[in-house]
């Protein structure tokens, strides 16, 4: 399977596939024949290994930028499949930085051990220990990985020490201007760095799996706070008998966990929240990456009576074609999209078309990131049901929201 579309190479007995010190751009898979891996010490040559069909050699060249630290010689007539470095390079650099670092550390150690065995001075004098550029790349990779490990460690502690707060941003009904619900937005109050934006830690929480306990905590908080907000409104004796709703962001990794073991139902039962007052916000990425998994999980969630929103619409794939396949109730048009629509007349037409389609599919639309009156006017023209943005209010901690609700009921 590997390299099946590659040109095979043939090395007659006694020829070299590569030599020490040469730049390495290929690894090789032996199809048939025999390869000796050897390295020169002071005057002598040491056999490191003899490899046969199915074995891979020269593989270190695929992972780092060092020159060859050994020589490969065909002991018999040998046929190999070359594996090109560039094909793997982008994959490796895009891989998890921790994994990347581990690979490199293992390789460094291996080379170091090899060097000790094989006359370190000689290799140094031939420059085979690597250029300063390689060292720089290595340092950068290391720094990145160390930062990520540190962030993940800090996140662990943050969960234990409860350094998170959920803030709430009102969502306003366009027709009446009334606050009809809130979006829960999480903040990390870091003891040293102060406020850390979710944009900086949600991804790390996802990568490390910490999003599972953190996401549960957020969901529980948001449900409990929704009950409090609703109670405050009900006690105010307002004639609007609609209940406030709560929108909660759910990341892809959380989705499966919420639906697979009944966790979501448990939270609903424990907090006593009416699931129809709860909206889970999901991004497009999940639907594109694993549509089948998403379809099953979303259908399960829908059975509980919860509402589903597609978040950040317009930034990602913006494909309306898949929307009808999933049971969404709400579409949130992203802030960046909204802003560009206001500035460009032509683009406005696109939003109008999206709105038409969304409404045609029975979705309600939220325009996000509204900061001024002119955007409000435009959104009203679009017949967008809900608005959200700094123009109305920034996200605030629960006690402030509650204080406001109680004050307005007293007025
Ligand atoms: P999002 O879900 O798109 O949330 C809206 C973001 O826009 C929030 O940023 C909000 O504070 C900000 N925003 C709202 N109105 C305005 C406005 O008028 N102008 C501007 N410039 N910004 C506005 P925040 O709180 O920093 O959150 C960033 C992202 O982090 C969120 O984007 C969401 O994707 C993620 N996030 C936040 N909390 C959670 C959470 O509890 N769970 C998960 N999985 N993700 C979260
Ligand atoms: Ca959101
Ligand atoms: Ca959004």
pLDDT at res. 113: 58
Ligand with minimal distance to 388 CA: 1
Ligand (nearest to CA of 250)? 1
CA triplet 302, 304, 307: central angle to 5 degrees? 50
d(CA 62, CA 27): 7
Q: What residue owns the CA closest to ligand 1's atom 25?
A: 185
Give me the pLDDT at residue 54, please.
Answer: 78
Contact 206, 254 (CB under 8 A): no
CB 389 near ligand 1, within 6 Å: yes
Q: For position 3, what pLDDT does the model report?
A: 35
Q: Is the CB of 376 under 6 A from ligand 1?
A: no
Rounded to the nearest whole angstrom, what is the distance from the C-alpha of residue 368 to the centroid of ligand 2?
9
Q: What is the rounded distance in angstroms from the CA atom of residue 15 to the CA atom of residue 73?
A: 6
C-alpha 188 to ligand 3 mean position (Å):
19
- CB within 8 Å of 65: residues ≥ 6 apart: 130, 133, 134, 137
What domains, with CATH codes, occur in the chain? 9-156 (2.60.120.10), 163-410 (3.20.20.450)
Six-digit token string for 136: 């720089």
The model's pLDDT over 103-152, given as tens digits with 9 standing for 90+, comes to 777 666 666 655 555 544 444 444 444 556 556 665 666 667 667 767 87
Among 185, 212, 286, 367, name the best residue to mutate to test ligand 1's pocket (greatest count of ligand atoms within 8 A of Cβ). Answer: 185
Segments of the chain with pLDDT less than 70: 1-6, 42, 62-64, 87-94, 106-143, 145-146, 149, 239-240, 315-321, 409-411
Residue with CA at minimum distance from ligand 1 atom 19: 369
Report residue 52 as tokens: 């046969």
What 3-state class would DSSP assign to 16?
A: strand
């Amino acid at each position: 399977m590997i390299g099946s579309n590659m040109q095979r190479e043939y090395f007659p007995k006694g020829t070299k596939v590569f030599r020490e010190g040469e730049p390495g751009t290929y690894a090789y898979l032996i199809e048939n024949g025999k390869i000796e891996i050897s390295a020169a010490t002071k005057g002598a040559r040491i056999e490191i290994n003899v490899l046969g069909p199915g074995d891979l050699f020269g593989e270190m060249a695929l992972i780092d930028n060092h020159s060859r630290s050994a020589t490969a010689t065909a002991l018999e007539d040998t046929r190999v499949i070359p594996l090109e470095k560039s094909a793997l390079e982008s994959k490796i650099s895009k891989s998890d930085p921790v994994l990347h670092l581990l690979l490199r550390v293992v390789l460094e150690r291996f080379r170091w051990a090899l060097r000790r065995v094989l006359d370190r001075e000689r290799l140094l004098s031939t420059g085979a220990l690597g250029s300063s550029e390689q060292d720089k790349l290595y340092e950068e990779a290391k720094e990145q990985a160390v930062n990520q490990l540190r962030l993940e460690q800090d996140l662990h502690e943050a969960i234990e020490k409860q350094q998170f707060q959920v803030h709430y941003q009102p969502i306003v009904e366009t027709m009446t201007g009334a606050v009809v619900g809130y979006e829960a937005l999480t903040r990390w109050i870091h003891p040293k760095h102060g406020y850390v934006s979710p944009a900086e830690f949600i991804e790390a929480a996802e990568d490390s799996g910490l999003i599972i306990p953190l996401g549960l905590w957020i969901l529980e908080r948001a449900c409990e706070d929704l009950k409090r907000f609703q109670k405050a409104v009900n006690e105010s004796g307002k004639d609007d008998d609609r209940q406030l709703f709560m929108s909660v962001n759910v990341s892809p990794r959380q989705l499966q966990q919420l639906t697979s073991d009944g966790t979501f139902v448990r939270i609903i039962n424990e907090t006593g929240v009416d699931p129809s007052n709860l909206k889970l916000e999901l991004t497009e990425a999940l639907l594109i990456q694993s549509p089948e998994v998403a379809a099953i999980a979303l259908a399960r969630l829908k059975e509980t009576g919860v509402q589903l929103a597609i978040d950040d619409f317009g930034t990602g794939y913006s494909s309306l074609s898949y929307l009808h396949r999933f049971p969404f109730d709400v579409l949130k048009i992203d802030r960046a999209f909204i802003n560009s629509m206001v500035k460009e007349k032509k683009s406005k037409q696109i939003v109008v078309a999206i709105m038409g389609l969304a409404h045609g599919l029975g979705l309600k639309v939220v325009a996000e990131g509204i900061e001024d009156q002119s955007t409000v006017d435009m959104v009203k023209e679009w017949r967008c049901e809900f608005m959200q943005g700094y123009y109305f209010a920034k996200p605030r901690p629960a006690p402030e929201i509650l204080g406001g609700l109680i004050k307005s009921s007293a007025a």
